[in-house]
Amino acid sequence: MLDRLDYEAVGLISGLEVHQQLRTKHKLFCRCPAGLYTETHDGEVLRHMRPTLSELGEYDGTALMEFKTKKEIVYLLNHLNVCTYEMDDTPPFLVNQEAIDASIELCLMMNMDIIDEIHIARKQYLDGSIPTGFQRTAIIGVNGSLPFHGRDLTITHVSVEEDSCREVRDKGHQIVWRTDRLGMPLTETVTGPELRTPQEVRDAILLCGMTARSTQRVRTGIGASRQDVNVSVRGGDRVEIKGVPRAGYAVKLVHNEGIRQYNLLKLREELHRRGFTTRESIRVHPFDVSDICAGADLGFLRQAPSNGGKIFAVKVEGVAGLALHPTQPDTTFLDELSGRIRVIACLDEAPIVLSGALLPEFPGKHRMLERLRKRVRIKENDDYFIVFGPEEDCRTAADEIRLRFADATQGIPKETRQALVGGFTTFERILPGPDRMYPDTDSPPTPVTEARVATLRARLRPPPWERIERYMSWRVPEETCHYLIRRGGAEILDAVIEKTGVDGLVAAIAIGQHTRAMKRAGVPVERLGAGEWMQIFDLLTDGRIPRESIPVIAASVAKDGVSAEAAAAAAGVAMEPRERWLESVDRLTMDGYLAGKTDTPGKRLRFLTGRAVDQLLGKAPAKDVAEYLRQKLTEVPS
Amino acid sequence: MSAPETPISERSDCFQGYRGPARDALAKFSIGVWSEVEIVNDQGSAFVGVILPRSETADDQHVVIKLFNGYNVGIRADRIASAKETGYKKAVYKIPEKAFPFDPKKKSVTLLGTGGTIASRLDYRTGAVIPAFTPGELYGAVPELADIANLDTQKLFGVFSENMGPEQYKALAIAIGREIEKGVDGIVVGHGTDTMSHTGAILSFMVQNSPVPIVIVGSQRSSDRPSSDAALNLMNAVRTAAECEISEVMLCMFGPTSDNYDLLHRGTRCRKMHSSYRSTFRTIGATPLATVSRYPKVPGGSHFTYISQEILRRDKTRKPVINPSFEEKVTIQYYYPNFNPDIIDGLSAMGYRGMVIAGTGLGHVNKPIYPALKRAIQKGMTVVMTVQTLWGFAQMYVYDTGRDLLDLGIIPLDNMLIETAYMKLAWVLGQADDPTTIREMMTTPINHEIESREPHNGYLILQGGLPEVDAFVQKHWK
Q: Mind listing the pLDDT tens digit for each residue in A471-518?
A: 999 999 999 999 999 988 999 999 999 999 999 999 999 999 999 999
Query: Residue A115 in 3-state DSSP?
Result: coil
Domain A279-408 sits in CATH at: 3.30.1360.30
**pLDDT, greater one: A515 or A594:** A515
Most confident region among A65-74, A99-108, A620-629, B151-160 by mean pLDDT: A99-108
> Is it true that the peptide bond before A51 is cis, omega within 30 degrees of 0?
no
Q: Is the pLDDT of residue A59 over 60?
A: no
**pLDDT, greater one: A606 or B239:** B239
What is the model's pLDDT at position B116?
A: 61
**pLDDT, greater one: B89 or B363:** B363
CB atoms within 10 A of CB A188: 21
Q: Is the pLDDT of residue A185 over 80?
A: yes
If you average pLDDT over residues A94-115, what whole number do you get? 98
CATH 2.30.30.520 fits B8-88, yes or no: yes
- Residue A568: CA count within 13 A, CB half-sphere: 24
Q: Which residues of A346-379 are buried (b: 16+ CB within 10 A; e: fewer)?
A: bbbbeebbbbbeebeeeeeeeebbeebbebbebe
**pLDDT, greater one: A69 or A395:** A395
If you average pLDDT over residues B378-389, what whole number do you get? 97
Phi then psi dihedrals of residue B365, to 5 deg = -135, 170
In whole angstroms, how large is the CA radius of gyration of chain B? 27
What is the model's pLDDT at position A53?
A: 54
**pLDDT, greater one: A76 or A637:** A76
Percentage of chain B lying above the pLDDT 70 cut: 87
What is the model's pLDDT at position A56?
A: 45
Cβ contact (<8 Å) for A447 and B223? no
What is the model's pLDDT at position A328?
A: 92
At position A368, the amino acid (one-letter code) is M
Q: Is the pLDDT of residue A613 over 60?
A: yes
Residue B245's Cβ-count burial label (10 Å; 0-12, 13-18, 19+) is: middle
Of B61, B72, B227, the CB nearest to A119: B72
What is the band of B208 on the pLDDT scale with cuts at 50, 70, 90?
very high
Residue B318's Cβ-count burial label (10 Å; 0-12, 13-18, 19+) is: middle
Within 139-158 of A, beta carbons closer than 8 Å to B belong to 139, 142-143, 157
pLDDT in tens, A535-548: 999 998 888 888 88
Domains B8-88 and B108-322 share a fold: no
> Closest residue of B to A53, CA-based?
B224
* Interchain CB contact of A469 with B (< 8 Å): no
Q: How do beta strands B35-41 and A446-447 pair? A: unpaired
Question: CA angle at residue B380 from B375 to B382, to 5 degrees?
Answer: 95
Are the C-beta atoms of residues B313 and B339 closer than 8 Å to each other?
A: no
The span from the CA of B301 to the CA of B299, in Å, is: 5
Chain A residues within an 8 Å CB radius of B79: 116
What is the model's pLDDT at position B98?
A: 64
The span from the CA of B441 to the CA of A615, in Å, is: 111
CATH class of B108-322: alpha beta
What is the band of B2 on the pLDDT scale with cuts at 50, 70, 90?
very low
If you average pLDDT over residues A441-457, what whole number do you get? 95
pLDDT in tens, A220-257: 988 899 999 999 999 989 999 998 988 999 999 999 99
CB atoms within 10 A of CB A58: 16
What is the model's pLDDT at position A215?
A: 96
Cβ contact (<8 Å) for A45 and B75? no
Beta bridge partners of B112: B154, B189
> Closest residue of A to B280, CA-based?
A89
If you average pLDDT over residues A64-79, what whole number do you get? 78
Question: CA angle at residue A223 from A194 to A106, to 5 degrees?
Answer: 50
Within 210-249 of B, beta carbons closer than 8 Å to A belong to 220-221, 223-228, 231-232
Query: Residue B74 in 3-state DSSP?
Result: strand
Residues of B known to be catalytic = 117, 193-194, 272
Are the C-beta atoms of residues A356 and A385 closer than 8 Å to each other?
A: yes
The residue among A30, A42, A48 with the most chain B CBs within 10 A of its CB, best to mutate, is A48
Are the C-beta atoms of residues B124 and B92 closer than 8 Å to each other?
A: no
What is the model's pLDDT at position A369?
A: 87
The span from the CA of B93 to the CA of A62, in Å, is: 19
Cβ contact (<8 Å) for A53 and B64? no
Cβ contact (<8 Å) for B232 and A48? yes
Cβ contact (<8 Å) for A50 and B91? no
What is the model's pLDDT at position B465?
A: 60
At position A598, the amino acid (one-letter code) is T
Domain locations in chain B?
Answer: 8-88, 108-322, 330-443
Are the C-beta atoms of residues A601 and A634 closer than 8 Å to each other?
A: yes
Are the C-beta atoms of residues A414 and A236 closer than 8 Å to each other?
A: no
What is the model's pLDDT at position A55?
A: 44
Domain B330-443 sits in CATH at: 3.40.50.40
Chain B residues within an 8 Å CB radius of A52: 223-226, 228
> Closest residue of B to A447, CA-based?
B74
> Is it true that the peptide bond before A351 is cis, omega within 30 degrees of 0?
yes
Q: Which range (A191-200, A260-269, A388-397, B82-91) has the least confidence? A: B82-91
Residues 6+ apart with CB under 8 A from A265: A233, A235, A236, A411, A412
What is the model's pLDDT at position A460?
A: 96
Of A51, A91, A445, the CB nearest to B74: A445
What is the model's pLDDT at position A615?
A: 80
Average pLDDT for chain A: 89
What is the model's pLDDT at position B161?
A: 82
Q: How do beta strands B262-266 and B290-292 pair? A: antiparallel
* Interchain CB contact of B73 with A (< 8 Å): yes
Cβ contact (<8 Å) for B70 and A434? yes
* H/E run at residue B250: strand B249-254
The span from the CA of B218 to the CA of B91, in Å, is: 27
Beta bridge partners of A211: none
Q: pTM higher than 0.90 for the full model?
A: no
Within 106-125 of B, beta carbons closer than 8 Å to A belong to 122
* H/E run at residue A531: helix A530-541
Of A113, A159, A445, the CB nearest to B58: A445
Within 87-106 of A, beta carbons closer than 8 Å to B belong to 87-91
Query: Residue A21 in 3-state DSSP?
Result: strand
Within 291-330 of B, beta carbons closer than 8 Å to A belong to none
CA distances from A513 to A210, A506, A554 (A): 18, 10, 12
pLDDT in tens, B288-319: 999 999 999 888 899 999 998 899 999 999 99
**Chain pair A-B, CB pairs under 8 angstroms:** 141
The span from the CA of A572 to the CA of B18, in Å, is: 77
Q: Is the pLDDT of residue A636 over 70?
A: no
Of B69, B220, B258, the CB nearest to A45: B258
Query: Residue B112 in 3-state DSSP?
Result: strand
Cβ contact (<8 Å) for B72 and A121? yes
What is the model's pLDDT at position A638?
A: 46
If you average pLDDT over residues B85-97, what whole number do you get? 71
